[in-house]
Every structure is written in structure tokens, then in C-alpha cells.
């Protein structure tokens, strides 16, 4: 079912909190009705979200939208964050990296800091709710200190939501964390390959994008043109775009190789847009390699954008002819869904969550080499009708699978399941 697309819906709601009805512009009315009726089954129940920060990062961004929408749906929802010293957050950063497979060392003092901070937060925070949703490793040990009832059981149902790629965790870090995770009633992971061997149910909930956010809302052609002009990217020939930080796993050099193979036959521009690399030595090095590989080609645009450049990313994606995400290793890779939402075919590396977002030959192509990437782009440039159809398919697939409304529905379904 194809929906009429909302006209600049994000603008309309920019000066007030987003309400569920605002999504009528972008999802079928039946989806919102289903969400409301599902919520009726947990109406009046309470939910508390705990994470580590109110600003910055994908989880905080998500919760800023989730909490008011859940409240509107009749679920009494609170959101609180753990407090800690710089040392605590250094330790949890190490946990984060270790769960993502980086080698990290942990001293007894580090583990003690982690446990003591969680104990202090368990005393401070109000964790009394029907469902307690703990996000990521930072607050995972809260469960060990949460006040049980007199009979030793806890009132609420506790769920650990792991947002990070834990497919290849450093064993020592995971073993330490596992002692807490096994005390939960359930865990949620973003991809099946992130799941672990656990004696508790492990649910799969894909992350989602918000179609009304600045990064995804509809833009007028004038807004797109003005933004591209400001970024110095002419719209005189097809634009190939990869949005990602400058990281070897995102393979920006492979994208340049694909562009050069293509450029022998077809005139086009390549835009590589990524975040600032000031505090990331590896990122700075990859950016330097990209600039060297660019070799002063005026049709290669390397844009280093601040983390707040949501409208710029949005405009670039809407102006692109083909969107690329040629990662060799990836978490979920929501930039793919963002590109697909703009109605563009996406060519992605065969990695992580890219493989669940791209239906090969239907919404785009997954590729395994620069050559494959060049071939698929060339084919799409020469078959604009096919590319347009893929773009339409891509947008519909995102509407069905990767919007915040589906994400909310699955969280409500989880509450229904846990509380029945």
C-alpha cells in the first residue's frame, strides 16, 4: 500500500513535540490504529528507560522521540540516566569497545568502579515500574542492586537492550557482563548475529529511523538546491553519495575505486560525506588517505560535516542518483534505511545489517567488491526506470520495516508478552 507522502511534515511539527497523528502523513492510518489498539493492552502500565546520557548518541535521540509517544499511547513512561565519574565512563567506553570486538584490558579497580557506580545509581534511581528497559552496558549491572521484594523477586520485568554490535565480543568483557544479563527477564538485540548464548529469551527488534526528524523529513527542491549550493556540490551530473564516518570499515577508498572504474564510461560526481575526525586519530588518518586518493579530482567532493548536519545529509541523499554504503564491516547501518527512505536505490557492502535492509535486485544491491559496486551503479545510471522503481520499492520497504512506528509497536508487543 503506497501512502501519499507528507509535505515537509518535519517543518510542520518543528516547534512542538511530535504527536502520533503527525505520522499519518507517512504511514498508513491502519498502522497507527493498530499501534493505539496494541497500546490499549498495556494502558496504565509503567515503563522506565535507563541509559547513560540525555544528549548525544543514537539511544538518547531515540528516547527523546519514544518517551512522549509512549506517554501519548497511555503507557506511563519515565526516562532516567545513570550518573558517574569520568572514570566510570572511561570504563564503560572500554566495555563498549570490548563488546564490539576491540582488545581492551580491565583491571580489578575498573570493574570495582563499574559495580560501585551501578550500586549508587540503583539506590538513587526510581526503578519501580512494570517494565524496566536498560540500554547498553553502562547501566547493565543495576539489576544486581535493584531492591527485590521480600520474597526475593522483583516487581517489574527487566529487559536489557543491546544497541551495539556484540557479534564478536572480547570474551573477558562479555563474561563479566553476562553475570548481570542472565538476571534479566529478556534481552533485545538489533540483529540475530548480535545475539549471545543466554538462558533468557532474546528478542530481535531492528532499529528504526524517524521520518519526521530533520534528517529524514521531506525537503522542497529549493531547500535541496540551496543546501547543495552551500556545500559546493553542483547538480549538473549524476551524484553518487556515501554518508559515513571516515573509517576503514566503511571502505571509502573502495568507493573511490568504484567511482574511477565507472568514470571511464559515465560522467558523474562522487560525494563522500562524513563526520569530523578531530578526536579520532584513526579517522583523521583515513580522511588523509581519502584526500590523497581524491587526487584533486574536482568531481570528488569530500565533505567533513558536524554531527548536527542533519539537513545537509538529508539534502545530499535526496539529490543523489545512487546511494552507496560499501562497508566491509557494519553494525546495523541505518544510513542505508535513511537513503532508501529518500526513494533511492542503495548499493551496500555485504556486511552487518545492510544485508537485511537491501533486498537484492528489489531495493538495491549488495556487493562484495569495488568492481561489483561500479557495475551495479553503471547499470542503474543506464536504466533510470529500473533505478526509480527500486527507489520506490526501497521507500516502501523502509515504511514497512524501519520506521519508528514499527519499532514502537514491537516494544509494545514485548510489554504485552512480558506482562501477560
Partner 1 sequence: MTAARPFEFVECLELREMLGRTAWDERELLAGIEDVPAGSIAYHTRSYFLRSRYLAAPYPNDFATWAAIQIRDRVLGERLTVVDPFDFSDIEQLRAELVTIIDHHLTTVQTVPRADYGEPFHFMRSVLIEVPTGISVTTLRAFRDGLERVDTSAIYYHFYESHRRPEADPLAWLQTELGRDDVVTQMRRLNPYVTSLAGMRAQLLTACDTALGDAP
Query: Which CB, 269 or 411, lies closer to partner 1?
Result: 411
Query: Which CB, 176 or 203, lies closer to partner 1?
Result: 203
Which stretch, 37-45, 63-71, 145-153, 374-382, contacts partner 1 (CB under 8 A)? 37-45
Query: Which CB, 111 or 205, lies closer to partner 1?
Result: 205
Interaction with partner 1 in 350-369: which residues (CB under 8 A)?
350, 355, 359-363, 368
DSSP string, 96-162: HHHHTT------HHHHHHHHHHHHHHHHHS---SSEEEEESSTTTTHHHHS---TTS--SSEEEEE-
Interaction with partner 1 in 175-234: which residues (CB under 8 A)?
189, 192-193, 195-198, 201-205
Please give the Cα distance from 56 to 59 (Å, whole number): 8
Please give the Cα distance from 392 to 400 (Å, whole number): 12
Q: 41: which 3 cell numbers?
A: 493492552
Residue 237 neighbours by CB under 8 Å, 6+ apart: 267, 268, 269, 299
Please give the Cα distance from 189 to 356 (Å, whole number): 14
Which stretch, 24-32, 99-107, 116-124, 298-306, contacts partner 1 (CB under 8 A)? 24-32
Give the shortest CB-254-to-partner 1 separation in angstroms.
16
Kindly determine how many residues on this chain lie close enough to bind partner 1 according to the rule CB under 8 A. 40
Give the shortest CB-60-to-partner 1 separation in angstroms.
25
Query: Which CB, 106 or 375, lies closer to partner 1?
Result: 375
- Residue choice 220, 282, 417, 419 for contact with partner 1 (CB under 8 A): 417
Give the shortest CB-312-to-partner 1 separation in angstroms.
30
Measure CA 348 to chain center: 16
Q: 401: which 3 cell numbers?
A: 520495516
Query: Which CB, 253 or 413, lies closer to partner 1?
Result: 413
Query: Which CB, 114 or 160, lies closer to partner 1?
Result: 160
Please give the Cα distance from 100 to 233 (Å, whole number): 35
Give the shortest CB-163-to-partner 1 separation in angstroms.
16
Please give the Cα distance from 348 to 359 (Å, whole number): 11
Residue 12 neighbours by CB under 8 Å, 6+ apart: 22
Is there binding between residue 33 and partner 1 (CB under 8 A)? yes
Give the shortest CB-164-to-partner 1 separation in angstroms.
16
Please give the Cα distance from 229 to 35 (Å, whole number): 41
Please give the Cα distance from 165 to 168 (Å, whole number): 8
Please give the Cα distance from 274 to 73 (Å, whole number): 36
Is there binding between residue 100 and partner 1 (CB under 8 A)? no
- Residue choice 22, 31, 218, 336 for contact with partner 1 (CB under 8 A): 31
Q: 316: which 3 cell numbers?
A: 545530499
Give the shortest CB-358-to-partner 1 separation in angstroms.
11
Interaction with partner 1 in 38-57: which residues (CB under 8 A)?
38, 41
Query: Which CB, 23 or 89, lies closer to partner 1?
Result: 23
Query: Which CB, 64 or 369, lies closer to partner 1?
Result: 369
Give the shortest CB-243-to-partner 1 separation in angstroms.
24
Give the shortest CB-332-to-partner 1 separation in angstroms.
14
End-to-end CA gap in the chain: 32
Give the shortest CB-45-to-partner 1 separation in angstroms.
15
Interaction with partner 1 in 301-360: which residues (CB under 8 A)?
350, 355, 359-360
Closest CA to 49 of 65, 26, 32: 65
Query: Which CB, 105 or 360, lies closer to partner 1?
Result: 360
Interaction with partner 1 in 388-407: which residues (CB under 8 A)?
393, 396-397, 400-401
Contacts made by residues 106-115, CB under 8 angstroms, sequence distance 24+:
106/172, 106/173, 106/176, 111/176, 113/85, 113/87, 113/88, 114/88, 114/141, 115/141, 115/144
In terms of C-beta density within 10 A (0-12 exposed, 13-18 middle, 19 or more buried), how is residue 261 classed?
middle
Query: Which CB, 202 or 227, lies closer to partner 1?
Result: 202
Instruction: Please name every residue paired with 77 in a beta bridge, in sequence order, or none if there are none.
Output: 47
Residues that bind partner 1 (CB under 8 A): 1, 28, 30-31, 33-34, 37-38, 41, 189, 192-193, 195-198, 201-205, 350, 355, 359-363, 368, 393, 396-397, 400-401, 409-410, 413-414, 416-417
Amino acid at each position: 500500500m503506497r501512502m501519499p507522502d507528507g509535505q515537509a511534515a518535519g517543518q510542520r511539527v518543528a516547534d512542538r513535540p511530535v504527536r502520533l497523528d503527525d505520522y499519518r502523513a507517512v504511514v498508513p492510518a491502519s498502522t497507527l490504529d493498530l499501534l493505539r489498539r496494541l497500546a490499549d493492552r498495556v494502558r496504565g502500565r509503567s515503563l522506565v528507560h535507563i541509559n547513560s546520557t540525555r544528549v548525544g548518541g543514537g539511544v538518547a535521540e531515540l528516547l527523546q522521540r519514544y518517551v512522549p509517544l509512549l506517554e501519548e499511547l497511555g503507557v506511563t513512561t519515565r526516562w532516567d540516566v545513570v550518573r558517574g565519574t569520568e572514570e566510570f565512563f572511561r570504563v564503560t567506553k572500554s566495555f563498549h569497545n570490548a563488546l564490539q570486538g576491540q582488545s581492551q584490558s580491565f583491571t580489578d579497580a575498573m570493574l570495582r568502579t563499574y559495580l560501585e557506580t551501578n550500586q549508587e545509581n540503583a539506590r538513587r534511581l526510581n526503578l519501580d515500574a512494570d517494565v524496566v528497559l536498560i540500554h547498553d552496558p553502562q547501566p547493565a549491572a543495576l539489576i544486581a542492586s535493584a531492591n527485590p521484594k521480600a520474597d526475593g523477586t522483583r516487581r517489574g520485568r527487566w529487559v536489557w537492550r543491546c544497541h551495539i554490535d556484540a557479534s564478536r565480543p572480547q570474551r573477558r568483557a562479555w563474561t563479566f557482563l553476562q553475570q548481570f544479563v542472565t538476571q534479566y527477564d529478556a534481552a533485545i538485540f538489533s540483529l540475530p548475529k548480535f545475539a549471545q548464548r543466554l538462558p533468557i529469551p532474546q528478542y530481535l527488534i531492528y532499529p528504526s529511523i524517524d521520518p519526521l526528524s530533520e534528517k529524514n523529513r521531506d525537503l522542497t527542491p529549493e531547500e535541496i538546491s540551496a543546501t547543495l549550493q552551500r556545500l559546493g556540490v553542483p547538480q549538473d551530473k549524476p551524484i553518487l553519495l556515501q554518508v559515513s564516518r571516515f573509517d576503514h570499515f566503511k571502505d571509502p577508498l573502495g568507493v573511490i575505486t568504484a567511482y574511477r572504474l565507472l568514470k571511464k564510461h559515465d560522467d558523474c560526481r562522487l560525494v563522500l560525506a562524513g563526520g569530523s575526525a578531530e578526536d579520532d586519530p584513526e579517522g583523521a588518518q583515513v580522511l588523509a588517505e581519502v584526500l590523497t586518493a581524491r587526487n584533486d579530482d574536482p568531481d570528488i567532493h569530500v565533505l567533513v560535516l558536524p554531527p548536527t548536519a542533519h539537513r545537509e545529509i538529508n539534502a545530499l541523499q535526496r539529490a543523489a542518483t545512487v546511494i552507496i554504503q560499501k562497508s566491509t564491516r557494519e553494525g546495523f547501518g541505518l544510513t542505508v534505511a535513511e537513503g532508501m527512505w529518500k526513494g533511492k536505490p542503495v548499493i551496500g557492502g555485504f556486511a552487518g545489517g545492510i544485508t537485511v535492509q537491501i533486498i537484492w535486485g528489489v531495493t538495491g544491491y549488495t556487493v562484495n567488491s569495488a568492481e561489483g559496486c561500479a557495475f551495479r551503479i553503471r547499470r542503474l545510471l543506464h536504466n533510470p526506470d529500473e533505478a526509480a522503481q527500486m527507489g520506490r520499492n526501497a521507500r516502501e520497504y523502509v515504511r514497512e520495516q524501519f520506521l519508528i512506528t514499527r519499532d514502537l509497536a514491537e516494544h509494545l508487543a514485548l510489554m504485552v508478552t512480558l506482562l501477560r
